[in-house]
């Protein structure tokens, strides 16, 4: 619905003081390509293009290297691109997430020297690589943990608060590390760190179950 309403807007220029700025479909900020609908489709395309390019460059070298050396090269030139600012990938469409996963699959097959018809799950377990979706969730959960532990900047820490720290009365949830969740009313809101972070944190299994 938001994308449909956005498509109906006909704005080509925006006035900024005495000058006029032309509206662009995409913009790059800190290496991340942001599109007008915040779908991150343009950034996914850029990451996949860069990842496949690096794999083609490494293909000639890995044949003369050990698997450990090849794994190190792939992690340095390909995996780092999948992991860069990957918390922004939380909540993107399934199709875009699958495109990122194909890059990791190609990298795993290059390192292990296997064919396209071979199952990818055993290869990822052999390399001790998490799926792209799992890497994204791990990054978000890590940011929440750092926020709750006082190791993150205020603009992240302010979005994470435990129920035990916000309520003066005794609740069952105050005995655990349950985080307060922000209510949202759109898919864009669900992807915000203030909603996605606490929601993911609360879905994690408890490290030490409460004693009854």
> Could you read off the pLDDT of 59-110 as tens digits, one per residue?
988 888 888 999 999 999 999 999 999 999 999 999 999 999 999 999 999 9
**Residue 93 main-chain phi, psi, to 5 deg:** -65, 155
Residue 198's alpha-carbon distances to 57, 60, 180, 202, in angstroms, are 40, 44, 6, 6
Decide which of 2 and 59 is more confident: 59
Strands (E), 70-136: none
Structure confidence at residue 6 as a pLDDT band (50, 70, 90): low
Domain locations in the chain as residue ranges: 2-129, 136-203
Tokens of 12: 């080509």
DSSP 26: E
Residue 32 scores a pLDDT above 70: yes
Helix (H, G, I), strand (E, B) or coil at 27: strand
pLDDT for the residue 116? 85
- Give the pLDDT score at 74: 95
pLDDT digits (tens, 9 = 90+) for 7-16: 666 777 788 7
Q: For residues 84 and 180, what is the distance between their CA atoms, to the nearest angstrom?
A: 27
DSSP annotation of 65 reads S
| Cβ contacts of 43 within 8 Å, gap of 6 or more | 32, 33, 34, 35, 88
Q: Distance between CA 201 and CA 180 in Å, rounded?
A: 10
As beta bridge partners, residue 15 has 20
Instruction: Give the mean model confidence (pLDDT) for residues 182-190.
Output: 81
Strands 19-22 and 13-16, sheet pairing: antiparallel
Query: Which range, of 93-102, 111-120, 185-194, 195-204, averages the lowest pLDDT?
Result: 185-194
Residue 115 tokens, joined = 């064919």
pLDDT tens, position by position, 34-60:
988 889 999 999 999 999 999 999 998
Q: What is the pLDDT of residue 33?
A: 94
Q: How confident is the model at residue 208, as a pLDDT?
A: 42
For residues 175 and 166, the model is more confident at 166
Per-residue pLDDT reduced to its tens digit, 116-145: 888 999 999 999 999 999 999 999 999 999
Average pLDDT over residues 142-170: 79
Reported confidence tier of residue 211, pLDDT bands at 50, 70, 90 = very low
| Run of H or E residues at 30 | none
């Amino acid at each position: 619905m938001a994308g449909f309403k956005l498509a109906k807007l006909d704005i080509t220029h925006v006035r900024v003081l005495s000058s006029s700025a032309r509206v662009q479909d995409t913009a790059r900020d800190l290496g991340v390509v942001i599109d007008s609908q915040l779908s991150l489709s343009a950034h996914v395309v850029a990451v996949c293009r860069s990842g496949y390019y690096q794999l083609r460059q490494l293909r000639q070298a890995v044949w003369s290297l050990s698997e450990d050396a090849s794994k190190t090269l792939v992690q340095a030139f390909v995996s780092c691109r999948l992991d860069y600012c990957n918390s922004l990938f939380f909540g993107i469409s399934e199709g875009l997430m699958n495109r990122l996963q194909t890059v990791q699959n190609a990298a795993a097959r290059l390192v292990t020297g296997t064919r396209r018809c071979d199952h990818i799950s055993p290869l990822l377990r052999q390399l001790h690589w998490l799926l792209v979706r799992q890497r994204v969730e791990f990054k978000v959960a890590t940011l929440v943990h750092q926020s709750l532990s006082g190791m993150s900047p205020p603009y992240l820490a302010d979005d994470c608060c435990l129920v035990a720290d916000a309520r003066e009365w005794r609740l069952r949830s105050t005995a655990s590390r349950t985080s307060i969740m922000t209510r949202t009313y759109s898919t864009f809101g669900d992807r915000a760190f203030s909603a996605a972070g606490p929601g993911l944190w609360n879905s994690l299994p408890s490290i030490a179950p409460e004693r009854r």
